[in-house]
Amino acid sequence: MLKMFLCCLISSVSYAQTNSTDIAVIPQPVSIVKTAGKFLLPNKIIVEAGPQSEIRQLLVFLKDRLSTPTGNTVVISNAAANATVRLVLNKTTDAALGKEGYQLSVTPKKCDNKSK
């Protein structure tokens, strides 16, 4: 599940850096609602993620993947009102998402990913 979660996030970040009009997300979502605007990584990327031990390894990987190629600063926080990227693990299974589904919301200011 964590690998799928990371693929979704990296795919959305990769999309933000291309001029393609198609949205490329892996795994392919059941539905997409496309709105105006685009997401660009700021110089200081703040990643908000809860204290769950299940995502520690993911956060180390994500920090490296976002900072090394861009040269940007990546800060990991348990709670950040101004987070650029927010990773949320639902405590219970959302019937709409199922056991391995996710909800990805990308706006010009932030990227939120909720999953089980």
For the question of whether the overall pTM of this predicted structure is more than 0.85, the answer is no
Asked whether residue 44 carries a pLDDT value surpassing 80, the answer given is yes
Q: What is the CATH number of domain 2-115?
A: 3.30.379.10
> Hey, which bits of the chain come out as E strands?
44-49, 73-77, 85-89, 102-106, 111-115
Averaged over 32-39, what is the pLDDT? 87
CB 48 within 8 A of CB 62: no
Confidence of residue 52 (pLDDT cuts 50, 70, 90): confident
Give the number of other Cβ atoms within 10 Å of residue 21's Cβ. 6
